[in-house]
Amino acid sequence: MSWLSSFWRTSIGGKMTMAVTGLLLFGFVVAHLLGNLQLLQGPDAINEYAKMLHDLGPLLWVARIGLLVVFVVHVVTAVRLSQANKQARPVPYASEATVQATMASRSMVLSGLSLLVFVIYHLLHFTLGVTNPGHFAMKTSGAGGFDVYAMVSNSFANPAIALAYAAFQLVLFLHLSHGIQSFAQTVGIHHKRYTPMIKTLSFLLALVVAGGNALLALSVQVGLVEVAR
């Protein structure tokens, strides 16, 4: 434990913590998308999937707590590193210029904070049922669990909610497109041939994940998913 905390406190240890927790969170986002794509298959598929997850019981809580820990470590480390970065340049340049840094790389703190706000809203909306308790009225589905299909389709039937979710996917795209390739560089993977490939892959993966999520958010609006009565 002391090894881990002393490693975390170094600059490179902090960077690697960001990289590893970031990759784990990316893995979660991919699994989240793959699971939720079953929304397009109709009520039975997604409701059975939801029941299967809920039936995991204690395992579900292990996964939830694990995810929360990873998320908190990612945020706390980001705060520590970006504060140190701010302190490292007390006087800003009178004339600022950027030569080759991408917009995504320059906005990581901003996109990260936006995603934090989004995740909190998302949990209040779909997990805790605070923001739209009407949608959350837990009906029993045909599969015997919660009717997730009804909750999601009723929510995304609201154009404001659907657009807000879709808009946040742009932020997710920015964050992931820099984050995935950054992981490789930070853990020391850099190669003449593979690094350009990793950069392209990073862009494509971010596009697919954010695009898939946006598709789900807009699914009701474009008529891919029917609203459950």
Partner 1 sequence: MKVTLHIWRQSQPSDRHAQSARDFQRDGRMVRYELDDVSPDMSFLEMLDVLNEHLIKKGEEPVAFDHDCREGICGACGVVINGVAHGPEKGTTTCQLHMRSFRDGAEIYVEPWRAKAFPVVRDLIVDRSAFDRVVQNGAYVSVNTGAPQDANATPVPKADADKAFDAATCIGCGACVAACKNASAMLFVGAKVSHFVHLPQGRVEREERARNLVTAMDEEGFGNCTNQYECEAVCPKEIPVRVIADMNREFLRAKVREE
Distances (CA, A) of 29 to 36, 169, 201, 221: 10, 12, 16, 23
Residue 160 as a binder of partner 1 (CB under 8 A): the answer is: no
Residues 6+ apart with CB under 8 A from 162: 156, 217, 218, 220, 221
Return the closest-CA partner of residue 142 out of 36, 50, 227.
50
Give Dmax over CA atoms of the chain in angstroms. Answer: 64
Among positions 171-190, residues that touch partner 1 (CB under 8 A) are 178, 181-182, 185-190
13 makes contact with partner 1 (CB under 8 A): yes
Q: Are 112 and 178 in contact (CB under 8 A)?
A: no
**Considering the complex, what minimum distance in angstroms separates the CB of residue 159 from partner 1?**
36
- The terminus-to-terminus CA distance of the chain in angstroms comes to 53
Q: Which of residues 103-132 bind partner 1 (CB under 8 A)?
A: 105-106, 108
Q: Cβ closer to partner 1: 9 or 64?
A: 9
Residue 47-86 contact track with partner 1, rule CB under 8 A, x = bound = ----------------------------------x--xx-
* Interface residues toward partner 1, by CB under 8 A: 3, 7, 10-16, 81, 84-85, 87-102, 105-106, 108, 178, 181-182, 185-190
